Amino acid sequence: MANMQKNSERKEVKQLLELGKERGYLTYEEVNDFLPPDILSSQEIDEVFQLFNAYDIEIVDDASKAKSKMARERKSDNERGETTSTTTAKSTDPVRMYLRKMGSVSLLTREGEVEIARRIEDGERQVLEVVMRSAIGIQEIIALGDALKKGKIRLKDVVRDSDEQPEEMDEEESTKSVIKRIEKIKRYDRENRRLKEQTTGAAAKSLGAEKLKKHKAKIERNQNKMTELIKEIRLNKKQLDRIIAVLKGLIERIQRGEEEVARCEKILGVTAKEFRKMIREMKQAKKDERRIVKKLSLRKEEILELDRIMKSALQKIKRVETEADQKIDELKVTYRGIQAGERQAERAKSELIEANLRLVVSIAKKYTNRGLQFLDLIQEG
């Protein structure tokens, strides 16, 4: 703010302000010619442009276009019989609105750039961690190992920077190294499946509290070892995105099944659990059938059709659970973890893009009328 006040008191800037206030606009050529030669940094230039903006002075490429635009605005105002000022019309210009928006974004410092990069990495790391700890992620990585062994895919299709391996380590050796790690993952996964069977349901009750605690600790240790092995493999983005797509596909199937169940519940006016109980009662006694038909205010045929639709939807959900080797609630938690990581990374990337555009706009403003129009300069930037 102090710098803006200081700039407004400079002779050249004062002249520009007076001219701009009188006409309602300035051309980039005028700004370029009048600006003091010692105003060079993008921050100083930006402060001058913010000053023009504060006085609602439009900066245009061509004075004739600005005049004709103002004339059209006056004519339009007269035709409508309104007293809306031209400044309101100017504020709807998409380029001006965009530049105003860019003006509100702070120029990125070195520390800010490092902070954004860290947040992008944190978001991407969170996604990777969630995928690596999911049953579907482990399944897909084991499948990649099988495909590598059979020669169906090459190492470069699986890992990052496979071309940057040490010279003494050729592709065949690197492939063997990755397969070896995946084989270890397979063994830990097999052991965890066996331990989980022993620590759930009726089997857990016969195990005893102490042994149950040991088994769960072993499962967690194995999971951590698998996570470290997957990190060592350095899975490339293409494979990570593919695994995420598989997981998202499963979630979409669950959502479609749940939507079908919800539609049936809305028509019936009862929950799926209550409806299943009613269906059992209908099949057991004729008097219950009449009572339920009356309660639901539907014909028997309609009730049976809704039962068929609901059964089919619940079976679809159950199939997903079997395919993923994870309970539906666990799958949803995995998906939410991926979404949270992706949102964090995307927000940080958007901030970086905006900050870069802001820098381009600031620099372009200083270099107008040197062979390219302002918008062309932005595009080049």
The whole-number pLDDT of residue 83 equals: 44
Average pLDDT, the chain: 79
Comparison of pLDDT for 233 and 206, the residue scoring more: 233
Q: Which amino acid is at 356?
A: N
- Angle formed at CA 145 by CA 120 and CA 134, multiple of 5 degrees: 50
Cβ count within 10 A of residue 38: 8
The closest alpha carbon to 341, from 115, 129, 118, belongs to: 129
The band of 61, judged by pLDDT with boundaries at 50, 70 and 90, is: low
| More confident position, 362 or 187 | 187
C-alpha distance from residue 24 to each of 18, 78, 141 (Å): 10, 19, 64
β strands within the chain, DSSP E = 25-27, 58-60
Return the pLDDT at 349.
86
Q: Give 323-360 pLDDT, tens digit per residue.
A: 988 889 989 999 999 989 999 998 888 878 777 666 65
Which of left, alpha, beta for 24 (phi over 0: left; psi -120 to 50: alpha)?
left
Read off the pLDDT of residues 86-114 as tens digits, 9 standing for 90 and up: 444 444 545 455 555 555 555 667 787 88
pLDDT tier at 377, thresholds 50, 70, 90: very low
Residues contacting residue 16 through CB under 8 Å, at least 6 positions apart: 26, 30, 31, 34, 35, 52
User: Residues 269-293: pLDDT tens digits?
Assistant: 999 999 999 999 888 888 888 899 9
Give the domain ranges of the chain.
2-104, 135-235, 240-325
Query: What is the Cα gyration radius of the chain?
Result: 33
pLDDT in the model for residue 87: 46
Residue 81 pLDDT level (bands cut at 50, 70, 90): very low
| Crossing angle (nearest 10°) for helices 300-324 and 272-284 | 120
60 - beta bridge partners? Answer: 27
The position carrying tokens 């913010």 is: 50
